[in-house]
Amino acid sequence: MTASEQTKTAIVFPGMGPSGFSEVGRFLTLDPFARKRLAEADEALGYSVFDRLRDSEDDYSEATQIAFLVNSMASADRAEQEHGLVPDLCAGPSFGQKAAAAYVSSLPFPEVVRLTAELARCEHAYFAEEYQDAVTHTFVRTPREKLTEILAELGERGEWYDYSGYLDDGFFMVSLREPELEWFKKAISQAGGYSMYTMVPAVHAPAFAELRRRAAEEILPKYDILDPKLPVVTDQDGTVVTTADGLRTMLLDTFDLPIHWPKVVDTLKGAGVSKMFITGPDNLFHRLDRTKSNFEVVTVGPGKRSRPPRKR
């Protein structure tokens, strides 16, 4: 590995997690980078994102998703201006794909705003009709062999489940029906694991192929996706995307394929990345052992403005 390869930098846009209006709203109104991006989003949509966010009671509503996108892009703007960020590669696990698509210029930011809003409406309609009681549960410290036994018991009872994410050693996301959630959480606890949070509606599950089809046929054809200006590492299998077709496939894969952060890490390491900027409201990815042990991590986002780099 050459010296230049050893100093490569990646920008990572995090996936969404539960967040309260107070912190998000404060960042949108006080941060100058966020105010600029918010104005662009308002103009693109023809309504006040802040007003709709304030009235929303859903952690993953259309307005909440747009606000997360805005804050992620604003964080990247700050990283460039205040930290001199000039990344070599880009990644965007889960919802972070959308900010990544804007950052690498595969779509202009206003177009990504509109795409995000349309996809949010599509998801809402889908889950109003299908898998109405599906949730995705995130948990940690659970040995793989124990989880396999738990899921086998679900399967023996004829219950549906899908892996939705592989985040770290013993750290998983599993989709299942809400009536089984309390039993599942108890089983995880008995196996030595710890439950973190539950997402409604569910995400990244192979069962949602119809949602992918709707997005592919009804929404994405409206948008002219371009080749990315930076290589993008897909969050499903760590593939490096350099074409418009590859990026379009990545955006669709998020509906019915689980995310796999260890494969993203392996690809970034293999490309010579030693420093990672995580830009956006991240409560997860910068904390993962696999992230901390492999990269010097700089977090830039709401509540993280003055946080120093975390070295390997």
User: Contact 165/259 with Cβ under 8 angstroms?
Assistant: yes
**Strands 273-279, 8-12: pairing kind:** parallel
| Percent of residues, the chain, with pLDDT higher than 70 | 94
Number of H helices, E strands in the chain: 13, 11
pTM of the model: 0.93
Question: Which DSSP symbol is given to 221?
Answer: G
Please compute the mean of the pLDDT values over residues 262-286 and round it to a whole number: 96
Q: Is the pLDDT of residue 142 over 60?
A: yes
Please compute the mean of the pLDDT values over residues 129-151 and round it to a whole number: 96
pLDDT given at position 56: 82
* Domains of the chain from N-terminus onward: 7-129+207-300 (3.40.366.10), 134-200 (3.30.70.250)
User: Contact 296/30 with Cβ under 8 angstroms?
Assistant: no
What's the pLDDT tens digit per position in 34-55?
999 999 999 999 999 999 999 8
Tell me the three state secondary structure of residue 276.
strand
78: confidence class by pLDDT, cuts 50, 70, 90: very high
pLDDT given at position 20: 67
**Cα 302 to Cα 23: distance, rounded to the nearest angstrom:** 7
22: confidence class by pLDDT, cuts 50, 70, 90: confident
Backbone φ and ψ of 109, nearest 5° = -55, -45
Q: What torsion do the CA atoms of 109, 126, 280, 229 make, to the nearest 10 degrees? A: -40
pLDDT given at position 24: 83
Please compute the mean of the pLDDT values over residues 158-170 and round it to a whole number: 97
310: confidence class by pLDDT, cuts 50, 70, 90: very low
User: Contact 238/246 with Cβ under 8 angstroms?
Assistant: no
